[in-house]
Amino acid sequence: MIYCPNCGTANRDGSSFCNQCGQRLGGGSKATCPFCGAENPIENIFCDACGAKLAPLVTPGVEEKEKPTLKGLSLPTKPAGDEEGVPDSEAAVPQEPSAPEGEEEIPDWLARLRASLGEASEPAEEPPATEEFAAEVPGEGTELPEEELPDWLRELRAQPAPEEAGEEQVAPAVEEFAAAVPDEGAELPEEELPDWLRELRAQPAPEEEAPAVEEFAAEVPEQESPAEPEAEEVAPPVATPALAEQPEAEAPTAGIPALSEGEQPAAEVEPLAAWLQEEGPVILELSEEEMAEGGKEAPPVALGPDVPAWLETLASGAAVLPEELGPVLPTPGKPTPEEVGLERAAIPSWLEVLRPGRKREEGEEAPAEEPVETEGMLEGVRGALRLVPNIDPGPDQFVRAVSAAATVTPAHAETLTQVLARSTASSVRPRTVPVPRRERGLPWLAFLLLLAAVLIPLVAPGLVPGGALVPSARSAGDFAAQVQSLPPGAKVLISFDYDPSVSTELDWPVREVINDLKAKGATLLVMSTTPTGPGLAARMGLADTATLLGYLPGQEMGLQRLATSFSGAFLVDYQGRSVDEAALGVRSLGDMALIITAASSQDTVRWWVEQVGSQLNTPICAIVSGAIEPSVRPYYSSGQLTGLVSGWVGGLAYRQAISPDASLDAQGKAAVEAQSLGHLAIVVLIVLGNLAYWGKRLFGGRS
C-alpha cells in the first residue's frame, strides 16, 4: 500500500498517481524521520528505526484541516448573533457537506427553493460571495443563448418574474402546491396545528419582525465573509461558488431525507422531526440573512409542493420564529437565555483549543513561522518538532504537505503537552519491594562464606582432607594419549585463541601441554586467531623455543584459507621477521601431526572443527575454559576432537594421565583445594537457599 504524500489516500502498490488527488507517487524519494533521522520509504506509516509515526505528517492537507470539524455541535443557549458564538468566519458559515453528498441527497423542493431564493436576491444585484463566483455568473443584462442554459434556468425563465406577476400571483410551478396549502387568511382547525404554530399565532404581528432581523444583521460581524464588500449585500450562504457551478446538485442536505412525491407536508402539519429540528437553525439562518436584505419587500418565494410549512412561512417574510428556534435568533422583547436563567454552555479548555478558527485570547501570540519552545517537555511545541528542516528534500509536494502539517500541529501538540505534564506529575513510580532487615545481609554473608572457602586453602594449604584429589577425565586422558603418541620432531600447531581475561584459567593447562610437547621433541608452531594471542604465547617463553607465526586475521575465513593453503598465510612472525616456510618444511596443515587450540570461545573451537577438521585428517585437540566445556563436548563425543582439556580440573586430569605418580607443587595443591572448597561452599549455599525458600513457602505463609 502506498500512501499519497499529498492527501494521505491509500493506493495500491505500484500506483504511479494517487487515486484521490492525482499526486505522483513513488519517485524513489525517501522520507526522513523527524525524530531519529532514519530514512524510510515514502510509503511508510511508521519509522523503521524508532517507530515514530510518519504518515500524519503528510496526510492532512491544509484545506482539509481548516474545515470546521464541529458540524452538528450546537450550543442552544447561545444566540446566533453572539460574537462568542460566531468567533470566526469559518465557524459561522453553516456546515456545508461536500458536493458529492449533495448531489446524492438534495431534494427537489430544496433545489427549487434555492433557485427561488437566488432569483429573489438577484435584484440585490451584487455578485455573491467571491469573485470567482462573480466571474462565472452572467451579468444581469447578459443574455445567454437558450441552448447554453441549464434546464433549471430555462424553467425559471419560463416563469414570470415575481415583480411582473405581482405579489398575489403564484408561480405556475407551484400552483398545485398552493392549492393544497391553505391561504394565509384561511383558518385551519386549531387541533390540526402543531404546538409551535399555535404559539406563533399567539405572538404579535409580523411587522415587528423586520427590525429584529435588522438588528441581527447589524450584529453579525462583517468578517464572516471576507469577500463580501458590504454588510447589506450579504449574499445567501447557499450561493457559494461551488454551489453556483453546480446549481442542481449541491445543498446542505446531509441527513435530510428526501420526501416522496405526493406527500403534503403543509396540509398536514406535524411536529418537527428530530432531524428537522437540528437542521432548522441552519436553514433559518439563511432565511434570516435573506430577510435582512429584502426586508418586507422580499418577493414571494416559489416553493415546491413538498416544502415544510414553516419554511414557506419564513420565506414569505411573514413568519415569527417558532419557539424551538427562539434561542438561535434574538427576538425583540423576548428575554435572552441569560435573562431567563439559562447558563451559557461551558466549553472545556481542551475543546476550545481544538476548535478550528478559534479566537485568540489576549496575550496569545499569533502563529509564528518559527516555533517557540518555552519550557518543559514539548512545551511551546511549535519549535520542538521542527518538522520541515528534518525532512529529506524529496518531492516538493511532500515538503509542502509536511509544512502544512506543521502549521496545524501546534494546537494538538499543546494539548499533548498538557496531557503529558499531567500524566508525569501523577505517574506512579514502580514500587520496589523492600527487603526485610534481617535479609539485607544475606548477600554479603554468602560472599564472605565463599571468600573464606577460597582464601583458607590458599593461605593454609592442606587443611581440607582430600581437597587436592583430582577427578579422572576420559577426554583429558585421550588428550594425553595423543601427545604421548607423537614421534620426535613432529610438527604441532598450537593456536592461542583466548584473551588475557581467562589466562588465569588456561595458562596453566596450556603450559603443562607445551612442556610435554617440548619433552617429546616436537616442533612447535604457534599462531593465534585473536590479536592478543601472540602476546600470551610470547609471555610463556615460546619466542625462543617455537616459531611464532603471529596473528591470523579473518577468523572463520582465515582458518578456511589456512586449511586450503598454508603458503602465504603468514608473511611475518610475531616479532616482524619473515617466515621462512621452506625452512619450516610445512606446505599445508596436513603436514602437522597435531593441532591444538586453546580457546575461551566456543565459536573458535567450532571454526576449527568446521573449517579445518572437516577438510583434513589432522587430529585436533582443544584446551578450553570451563565455561564453554558443555558446548564443546559434543565435538569430542562425535570424534571431531580427539582430546579435550577443560580448565584447571581438566589440566589436572591431563597431568595425572601423563604422569600418574607425579605430585602437585604446593601452589597447585592450594589452588585445587580452593576450587574444591569453593564448589562445596556454593553447593551449601544453594541447598540452604532452597531450604529457606521452601520453608518460608510451606510454613511462612508467603513466598
CA distance 209 to 649: 110
Binding window for other proteins (CB under 8 A); candidates: 211-219, 360-368, 490-498, 571-579:
571-579
Residues in the chain, overall count: 703
Window contacting other proteins (CB under 8 A); options: 77-85, 345-353, 496-504, 536-544: 496-504
* Count of Cβ atoms closer than 10 Å to residue 120 Cβ: 20
Which one, of 68, 303, 305, lies nearest residue 177 by Cα? 305
Among the listed residues 454, 456, 538, 540, the single contact to other proteins using CB under 8 A: 454
Nearest CB to other proteins, comparing residues 244 and 612: 612
Identify which of 496, 486, 541 has the alpha carbon closest to the alpha carbon of residue 658.
Answer: 486
What's the N-to-C CA distance of the chain in angstroms? 52
Contact region with other proteins (CB under 8 A), list: 103-111, 396-404, 485-493, 494-502: 494-502
Query: How far is the C-alpha of 514 from the C-alpha of 518, rounded, in Å?
Result: 6
> What's CA 659's distance to the chain center, in Å?
69
Q: What does residue 51 show for φ and ψ, rounded to 5 degrees?
A: 85, 5
Give residues with Cβ within 8 angstroms of 134, minimum separation 6.
127, 128
Residues 524-563 that bind other proteins (CB under 8 A): 531-532, 534-535, 550-551, 553, 556-557, 560
| Residues touching other proteins, count (CB under 8 A) | 56
Residue from the set 479, 566, 574, 654 that interacts with other proteins by CB under 8 A: 574
Residue 682 within binding range of other proteins, rule CB under 8 A: yes
Name the minimum Å distance from CB 503 to other proteins.
8
Unique residue bearing C-alpha cell 424553467 = 155
| Start-end of H helices in 368-519 | 381-385, 387-390, 396-425, 442-459, 474-484, 503-519
| Binding status of residue 497 toward other proteins by CB under 8 A | no
CB of 552 to other proteins, least distance (A): 9
**Contact range with other proteins by CB under 8 A, out of 9-17, 288-296, 397-405, 670-678:** 670-678
- Within 10 A of 490 (CB to CB), how many other CB atoms are there? 18
Out of 627, 664, 669, 684, name the contact with other proteins by CB under 8 A: 627
Torsion region of 125: left, alpha or beta (phi above 0 gives left; psi -120 to 50 gives alpha): left
CB of 454 to other proteins, least distance (A): 6
Q: Which residue has the cell 431534494?
A: 107
Question: Which C-beta is closer to other proteins: that of 331 or that of 640?
Answer: 640
Instruction: Give the interface segment with other proteins, choosing from 238-246, 314-322, 453-461, 687-695 (CB under 8 A).
Output: 453-461
**Min CB(528)–other proteins separation in Å:** 9
Query: Looking at 273, 345, 377, 571, which residue binds other proteins (CB under 8 A)?
Result: 571
Residue 675 touches other proteins, criterion: CB under 8 A: yes
Question: One symbol per residue from 638 to 667: x for binding other proteins (CB under 8 A), - otherwise; what is it?
Answer: xxx-----xxxx-----------------x
The one segment of 158-166, 214-222, 606-614, 656-664 that binds other proteins by CB under 8 A: 606-614
User: Is 78 within 8 Å of 285 (Cβ atoms)?
Assistant: no
Cα–Cα distance measured from residue 309 to residue 303, given in angstroms and rounded to the nearest whole number: 10
Instruction: Match 509536494 to its residue by C-alpha cell.
Output: 397
- Residue 610 interacts with other proteins (CB under 8 A)? yes
Greatest Cα pair distance in the chain: 138
Among 590, 630, 689, 700, binds other proteins (CB under 8 A): 630
Rounded to 5 degrees, φ, ψ at 350 are -70, -30
Amino acid at 131: E
By CB under 8 A, name the binding residues for other proteins.
37, 447, 454-455, 458-459, 499, 501-502, 504-505, 531-532, 534-535, 550-551, 553, 556-557, 560, 571-572, 574, 576, 606-607, 609-611, 613-614, 625-631, 634, 637-640, 646-649, 667, 670-671, 674-675, 678-679, 682
